[in-house]
Chain A
Amino acid sequence: MKTVNILARITMVFVLLVSINACTTDDLDPSLEQNKLIQGGITSVDNLYAILKGSLSRMTEVNYYGRDYVINNEVRTDNCFSNGNSGRFITQATFSYNANTGYFWDEAYEAIAGLNIIINGVDLNELEGDMDYGTHLQGQAYALRALIHFDLLKQYGQQHVGGTLGVPYVTEFKGEDLLPARKSVEETKQLILGDLETAFNMMSEDYSSKVLPSKYLAKAIESNVAVYFGMWDRAITASEAVINSGLYDIISANSFASSWENGLAANSIFELAFNETDNRGSDAIAYIYRGGSYGDVQVIDEIADLYEAGDVRADILGYEDDMLRNMGKFPEIQGYDNVPVVRYEEIILNYAEALLETGGDALTEINKITSNRGASAYETVTKDDILNERRKEFIFEGKRYDDLLRTGSDIEKVYMQQNIAATISYGDHRLAWPVPKAETDANSNMIQNEGY
């Protein structure tokens, strides 16, 4: 009996000790100090603003506007080549890429995921804060969603390689269809234009910022889309809407160089923000354009002859040793400079081109550019003049490649320094990026571009 008593006492002591630090399931809940749950974590309009900035931050990543999106569309043209100093951009400049590299596919859709939370992931009426501002935020999200899908369409769509497929157009966060198929080019285009309409209608003129989407950004993107697809009437109306807003000016010859140093100039419609604490460091655009560490992207020698004497845009060029360099755009080597996405000069040149195509007065418009650059005025204007003016104006900003393709041009082998050995004809499969293998592996509804 005694033994039993002792046993009972021991058992009690054990039970007591165990129960002191015994744990229930709830005791095992982990701390959540750096994150919030998506469900229930979004309670105010300001939370949506934070998510919008998160998507913008995705757009500043190195694969996208942080560097590669811009550089890939220069190094594959007759503006620049890769000298391979650090091994970067050789693959792209020689058009020898394959599906192992995703380029900006994942960053683009990551940004879109955040935008879709803003657009329809929560019920605006259940949030605290200013509802009008909430509506404006949703409009901003629509504008960015259109812009990003447009960027995807230009680089992954089959419009220049003989196919009809565009890209998946994602409109819901964690929606029903987690394995979306590609829309056609036409459908993708219509969805982009639809989002831009919605964006323009929802955004308010009361909010102006050049590092956030603003109301007339929607019209500016629409102008770009229209020009890209040769929808000239729509290009005219959209461009006129931007011009008539009176919010923007062409930067003057005197201010051209400094506008690259300071950013947020009068010609800026939308630019992505970089600064001393938020930058890509050695992966910045500037670091690939110059310097001895990377400095892979060199300017083709003959570009020095592109500009006439007195054209302030020639001042962008310079030499490092014997190498012709982009010295003036993205001047800060550490990558502190903002990256322009759309600037007013592009809308003017869109407008000029659309007028030319529809028999309007293109000459006046194009001379608004030359007169602000210290260049001679055109007396007559042709399509080639406009494209050449665009090349001079937007060199190193990643627009040349799209201009060549949308006008059905070959990627011509003109200069010895170009990385390609021979001309790549319009229609060659390499003019569209491959869909990344990570996508085709995970999504059996995804169709790869021909040739990859």
Chain B
Amino acid sequence: MKKIALMLFGIAMFGMLVVEAQVKSISGTVTSSEDGTGIPGVSIVVKGTTIGTTTNMDGEYQLSVPNDAQTLVFSFVGMKSIEAPITGTTVSVSMESDYIGVDEVIVMGYGTQGKSEITGSTVQVGGEQLENMPVATIEQALQGKVAGVSITASSGTPGSVQDIRIRGRSSITAGNEPLYVIDGVPVVNSDVSLATSGSNLSALASLNSNDIESLTVLKDASATAAYGARGANGVIVITTKSGKSGEAKINFSATYGFSNDATDGPDVLTGAQREELFYEAIYNTYGSAYDFDEAGAKDFYESYPNTFGSDYVVWNEAGRPETNWQDVITNKNAPMQEYNLSASGGIDAMSYYASFGYFDQEATVIGSDFKRLSGALNLTADIKPTLTFSTRNNASHSYQDGLLETSAYFSNPRTTKYFMPPIEQPYLEDGSINIFGTSMPNPLWIAQEDIDDSKLTRIISNNSLTWDTPVENLIFTSRVNIDYQVYNYKRYRNPVRGDGDSSFGYGWVANRNRANYVFQNSLDYSFDIDGGHNFDVKVLQEFQKNRLLFMETDGDNFSDIGLTNLNSAGNPTAANSWFTDWSIASYLGMVHYSYNGKYIADATIRQEGSSRFSDDNRWGTFWSVGGAWNIHRESFMSDIEVINNLKLRASYGVTGNANIDLNQYQELLNFDSDYAGEGASYPGNFGNPDLTWETSHTVDIGIDFGILKNRITGSVGYFRRESKDLLLDVPLSLTTGFEEQTLNIGRMENKGFEAELMIDVVRMNDFNISIGGNIGTVENKVQELAEDINGDEINITDQTQRVETGHPAYGWYMPTWAGVDPQTGDELWYVDGEGSETTSNFNDANQVWQGGSAIPTLTAGLNLHIDFKGVFLDLNGYFAGGHKVYEEWHRYTHGTDVYSVAYYQGVAALMDRWQEPGDEGTRYGKIEYTGRPWQRHSKFLYDGDYFRLKDVTLGYDLPQSVTSMINVDGLRVFVRGTNMFTWVKDEYLEYDPEVDVSGYTELTQPPIKSVIFGLNLNF
């Protein structure tokens, strides 16, 4: 920490030094014309320069200006801008409201647009909503804030990937992830981790949320048109902070807090309950054949130790000690902390933003944490009267001490809770870790010895040169962006106990370097034609190349305990490297037309070529048209004062998706095989030279409104997206030697309504209450799939899901559970779905549609803001529903057999089981001493609906009277709670309801419930 503090100090000093360089001083006060009180945050700029500042909490400002400065420009959102001449050393102004003129500027990626000029569907989240969010990955901030966007964490391990679906699933087997754009450049933000058996790591975890100015979600064809070729799944535009003109502003923030699991998960059996069920199983299975009653089961068990073992004998002799394995694996009140220091300002023709951040979060399970160091430097310099150079640089190093998770790996601590018998002990009598005495590896030992480390270093450098050409309003921009990601992974398994014990230790090291370059050239031209016709035209050319270099090596038989690098591995077992690349070339043309701000039209065309397709089918053409009518600006509306904003908008367009594996179009031999110590090859890819872009055709219509001086604002919209020529992995007959071939075939639609509403209940100078909310629906239906030569539809089916026309993609499809037979205690299933005949033979029960899929059909967000004399309260909630989730691993944890009572552990709910003829309505059938196969059916399919209070913040902005005494511009203290409350509809869904897009609960880290205390200082 000492080092970090020193660096923070260094950066602070840099900020201070910059301030020294000014001379003539002007001060004044900006007040509201309505009530005469000071307005904080008003931007003041010396006209024609970037020199400026903002007012403090009381509306006062001080500014050093060049001696020849003539005019100051005062501007503030919601107020009419004022230009005031500099006459003397005091310039004070009074500003009046401009409710009608409120036009939030929306960042669209390749440019910005006033909100009233937008013809598509976009939502921007910015400013304070992103600051001091205690999250490792920035997109978590979007949850609940944007209608129609579903976000779930793939794991609660800090830094993990968030699954984002914008308006549902647009593709069946190609990717459904949105495109990410950072500062105008498409980037790759996928999971960087290499091990499928461990924690994953999002590339976005490399970004510090405090460096982000805004996040914009582009949803429809008109909004995403600029990225048409890859915009079918929506676009998330991330804009980093820029320097603001004027005096240096320094911001320091610190947060410290604690986190725990947001939900506890299912309770498990106690040792005593487990023993009771064990004897019951012995009796039910052997009682009649070997002629003993229920009380005799214990004796029978003890007389056959060869068959049944003697675990309970040992346990009883030891005095029946109960272990709560959840307590053993939990890192209670896991600390998290974050520190950020940033400085921004302007000197002459240059503005800057510089920041440094440190983030550290321990996981809620033992042996895992995440740390990030990040720095940013954004500079804009007017190097010549007509040339502006801008560079945005972001560098970070993230370190994730991960763990084995997601699946039921015996060394996954989340497995321990549900699989480790409660009659086994974590510690020996002398207090040391019980290394060898547990049936599965002791998580205390694994957390101490084994290693799953991910390190990601990411550098993004975005550089542009803008030339204000001699032709008025014609601007040329050339941009080069480099995104370099260096990922290193180290795995080590100790030789004493666990996954490395049979090979005397195991080690694996892997490196992956990703270099992603983007080159852009663009021309912007805007011109007016008399009578209020405004045109903005943009043409752009872009080339993107991605290179990926991978290296790994592993080995076993370590020479000594405690040495974890491959240097000590006696037996190298693998060495591997590979290189792949892809590239994309595009040409884009956009026209934006506005007639007096009333009638807006957009047209966009983009041609894009992708290396994923063969020469003949490489290029795709994507386009969109959009229109908007600002009705409130019509003269006939001028009398209707109650309506401040009323806009009708509609758009239609074609966007694309090429999110498939590389080289799919080629018929390939693979060489990553070996036999008897020699290299080998095999046919790896069926190939399809006709492969080309998947397209989505989207209609979007909506109304935006603002009434009562914009105290009530909102929008209502409808969309329908039809995806065609799907990039579908069509199953092949396995006799071909291949599982599937990617074809452009099939159609699927998503449609839904979206609405947003924001109400300022109280709007006063020092007292405000606002309530807002959003809601989005999405209905998904497969319309067409591939057919084989006999005209039979080729479906994709597994044990729980199916893809078939007329149903949602991957809709739930499995046998329906019919309860327990009161006479026999057998579990029953319907042969052909509910209402049909029942059977106790699982294999006789046919799979039937269960309704719904894993994707929510309804998502909603709710927020409340209250502030009163500097004290503020923010609440934010998220609802997702209409989907179903499936409980994985029930074969073991819900097993009415040896898995729950003899080998592993069962959930406490098992106590509700059938015991004797006549027992009706039990949740579980007869417990038996046997092992049952996997039987996936509707008993373990739950309604996924849940509501979560994502965020509660209570804070206080100290008044000027206090801050001026300590010589700072502003000081805020706050306490923030995340996931403080969770409501789940289905009583049987005991795992955390935030399940990833697969729809399966996993043995992974649930999201966290945290409380943090923070401080935000401006000076």
B671 touches A34 (CB 8 A): yes
A213 on the B face (CB < 8 A):
no
List residues of chain A with CB within 8 A of the CB of B934: 91
- Shortest distance in angstroms between B988's beta carbon and chain A's nearest beta carbon? 22
**Interface size on A (CB < 8 Å)?**
97
CA distance A41 to B667 in the complex (A): 10
A423 on the B face (CB < 8 A):
no
B662 on the A face (CB < 8 A):
yes
List residues of chain B with CB within 8 A of the CB of A437: 797
A33 touches B578 (CB 8 A): yes
B471 touches A10 (CB 8 A): yes
B81 on the A face (CB < 8 A):
no
Residue in B469, B610, B669, B892 whose Cβ sees the most chain A Cβ within 10 Å:
B669
CA distance A6 to B739 in the complex (A): 59
- Shortest distance in angstroms between A12's beta carbon and chain B's nearest beta carbon? 12
B543 touches A23 (CB 8 A): yes
Please judge, given known A-B contacts A30-B582, A97-B933, A106-B734, whether A293 and B675 are in contact too, CB under 8 Å: no
A22 on the B face (CB < 8 A):
yes
- Shortest distance in angstroms between A215's beta carbon and chain B's nearest beta carbon? 19
A442 on the B face (CB < 8 A):
yes
Interface residues on chain B, size class: 35 or more
List residues of chain B with CB within 8 A of the CB of A21: 519, 521, 541, 543
B474 on the A face (CB < 8 A):
yes
CA distance A437 to B813 in the complex (A): 14
Please report which residues of chain A, range 417-452, place their CB below 8 angstroms from some CB of chain B when the two chains form the complex.
417, 419, 436-439, 441-446, 452
List residues of chain A with CB within 8 A of the CB of B679: 50, 53
Please report which residues of chain B, range 652-674, place their CB below 8 angstroms from some CB of chain A when the two chains form the complex.
662-663, 666-674
B512 on the A face (CB < 8 A):
no
Scoring B residues 512 to 524 as 1 if CB is less than 8 Å from chain A, else 0, what string do you get?
0000000101010
B732 touches A28 (CB 8 A): no
CA distance A94 to B730 in the complex (A): 33
Chain B's closest residue to A26 (CB) is: B615
A178 touches B668 (CB 8 A): no
List residues of chain B with CB within 8 A of the CB of A97: 843, 933
Which of A100, A102, A417, A436 sits near B799, CB closer than 8 Å? A100
List residues of chain A with CB within 8 A of the CB of B581: 30-31
Scoring B residues 862 to 899 as 1 if CB is less than 8 Å from chain A, else 0, what string do you get?
00000000000000000000000000000110000011
A113 touches B794 (CB 8 A): no
Which of B677, B682, B736 sits near A275, CB closer than 8 Å? B677
B583 touches A27 (CB 8 A): yes
Which of A293, A419, A442 sits near B734, CB closer than 8 Å? A442
- Shortest distance in angstroms between B20's beta carbon and chain A's nearest beta carbon? 40
Please report which residues of chain A, range 263-294, place their CB below 8 angstroms from some CB of chain B when the two chains form the complex.
273, 275-278, 282, 287, 291-293
A326 on the B face (CB < 8 A):
no
B765 on the A face (CB < 8 A):
no
B663 touches A32 (CB 8 A): yes
Please report which residues of chain A, range 197-212, place their CB below 8 angstroms from some CB of chain B when the two chains form the complex.
211-212
List residues of chain A with CB within 8 A of the CB of B474: 7, 10
Which of A41, A98, A180, A211 sits near B669, CB closer than 8 Å? A41
A252 on the B face (CB < 8 A):
no
B676 touches A51 (CB 8 A): no
A248 on the B face (CB < 8 A):
no
List residues of chain A with CB within 8 A of the CB of B921: none
CA distance A301 to B734 in the complex (A): 40
A39 on the B face (CB < 8 A):
yes
Scoring A residues 182 to 223 as 1 if CB is less than 8 Å from chain B, else 0, what string do you get?
000000000000000000000000000001100000000000
A117 on the B face (CB < 8 A):
yes
Which of A54, A419, A443, A452 sits near B673, CB closer than 8 Å? A54
List residues of chain A with CB within 8 A of the CB of B739: 106, 438
Please judge, given known A-B contacts A22-B585, A37-B666, A109-B735, whether A31 and B521 are in contact too, CB under 8 Å: no
A307 on the B face (CB < 8 A):
no
Chain A residues within 8 Å of B, Cβ to Cβ:
3, 6-7, 10, 13-14, 17-18, 21-23, 25-39, 41-42, 47, 50-51, 53-58, 60, 82-85, 87, 90-91, 94, 96-98, 100, 102, 105-106, 109-114, 117, 168, 170, 173-174, 178-180, 211-212, 273, 275-278, 282, 287, 291-293, 301, 322, 333-334, 416-417, 419, 436-439, 441-446, 452
Chain B residues within 8 Å of A, Cβ to Cβ:
305-307, 309, 410, 439, 469-471, 474, 476, 478, 499, 502-503, 519, 521, 523, 541, 543, 571-574, 578-585, 609-612, 615, 618-619, 662-663, 666-687, 730-739, 788-790, 792, 794-799, 842-843, 891-892, 898-899, 903, 930-934
> Can you show 14 pairs from A to B with CB atoms below 8 A apart?
A25-B609, A29-B611, A35-B684, A37-B669, A53-B678, A57-B673, A82-B931, A84-B903, A114-B682, A170-B735, A173-B683, A273-B675, A278-B676, A437-B797
A-B pairs, top 10 by smallest CB distance, nearest first, are A113-B737, A54-B682, A84-B931, A53-B680, A91-B933, A273-B676, A23-B585, A443-B733, A442-B731, A53-B675
